[in-house]
Amino acid sequence: MDHNYQDYLKTAVEVARKAGEMVKESYYVDKSVCTKESFADLVTVTDQAVEKMIIDSLTQKYPTHKFIGEESVSEGKKCDWTDDPTWIIDPIDGTANFVHSISNNCVCIGLSVNRKIVVGVVYLPITDQMYTAVKGQGAFCNDKRISVSKVSDLKNAMVYTEAGNSRQPEAVLTKIENMKNIVFASHGIRCLGSAAVNMCMIAQGSGDAYIEYGIHIWDIAASGIIVEEAGGVLMDPSGSEVDFLSRGVLCASTPGVAAGISKIIKPVEFERD
């Protein structure tokens, strides 16, 4: 079957903008918040409404395509990733930021074909930044080409990471230990509160690496291709091939920075998606 990736991208951008309008409308008012796997793992009615709108809009245009959406999975739908064209959606990545009125939140829409990500759209509605990539065609922010930094040594790198939203003591303590090791080996760490925003920072050269355990496929599918198309590397934190369902990711401007991080961190185990 022939795929028109430019058409997929155009549609995803339109739908992401519509989703962004919904996020903006509820950003400045009191949010109705519920919790999922821990008291720090948040969901709002906006996350749910945005995901429904995205899935309904894409289904209308591409009735045979499949979906993996953060809120559908947390409501019990199986995270079934097949070779079929599959839209991978995080309606609001950085929900805790959204809840606390912090502008680092974004709509993530990725598309996989044969389990390879071919299109990625990450839209930050509050700051109106639209990051896009199509396999083999480069990465862009608001239609301007972006690329990763040239930093190749961890000691000259700025590294993004997160404490995440699990509150299992062992997971939190290992993450803090990893952060400590990264601080001693680099220019420092930054935590923006959204996996996809962190990864877009790497894609545009505002920092050199991002590492996190505990993320899900919907946090990294769209932003992963944006990093790769900007010239960066995307892998498992161990240094092996990226596994989108494994709950861990490492991306970097260069293999040198990634290798420096892999060497000094300990794995944190989470149940696979």
CB 161 within 8 A of CB 182: yes
Closer of 71 and 229 to ligand IPD (Cβ): 71
Question: What letter represents residue 144's amino acid?
Answer: K
117 as an active site residue: the answer is: no
Distance CA 179, CA 211 (A): 10
Instruction: Looking at residues 149 to 168 of the shown chain, list those that interact with ligand IPD (rule: CB under 6 A).
Output: 162, 164-165
Terminal alpha carbon distance of the chain = 28
Among 68, 106, 215, 227, binds ligand IPD (CB under 6 A): 215
Q: Counting contacts by CB under 6 A, is residue 237 touching ligand IPD?
A: no
For residue 165, give the 3-state DSSP assignment: coil
Q: Counting contacts by CB under 6 A, is residue 194 touching ligand IPD?
A: yes
56 as an active site residue: the answer is: no
64 as an active site residue: the answer is: no
176 as an active site residue: the answer is: no
> Helices in the chain by DSSP H: which ranges?
5-27, 45-61, 70-74, 95-99, 169-185, 195-203, 217-229, 255-264
CB 44 within 8 A of CB 95: yes
- Residue 258 CB, nearest approach to ligand IPD (Å): 19
Closer of 74 and 152 to ligand IPD (Cβ): 74
Catalytic residue chosen out of the listed positions 47, 70, 212, 229: 70
Contacts of 244 (CB under 8 A, 6+ apart): 81, 117, 217, 220, 221, 224, 273
Binding piece for ligand IPD, criterion CB under 6 A, among 22-30, 53-61, 125-133, 210-218 = 210-218
- Residue 173 CB, nearest approach to ligand IPD (Å): 16
- CB atoms under 10 Å from CB of 116, counted, come to 10
What is the Cα gyration radius of the chain? 17
- Residue 147 CB, nearest approach to ligand IPD (Å): 23
- Residue 157 CB, nearest approach to ligand IPD (Å): 19
Count residues binding ligand IPD (CB under 6 A). 15
Q: Counting contacts by CB under 6 A, is residue 51 touching ligand IPD?
A: no
Closer of 187 and 190 to ligand IPD (Cβ): 190
Among 69, 85, 193, 248, binds ligand IPD (CB under 6 A): 193
CB 231 within 8 A of CB 133: no
Instruction: Return the H-helix or E-strand segment holding 140.
Output: strand 139-141
For residue 233, give the 3-state DSSP assignment: strand
Instruction: Looking at residues 94 to 133 of the shown chain, list those that interact with ligand IPD (rule: CB under 6 A).
Output: 94-95
Q: Counting contacts by CB under 6 A, is residue 93 touching ligand IPD?
A: yes
Q: Which residues bind ligand IPD (CB under 6 A)?
A: 70, 90, 93-95, 162, 164-165, 193-195, 212, 214-215, 219
Q: Which residues are catalytic?
A: 70, 90, 92-93, 95, 219
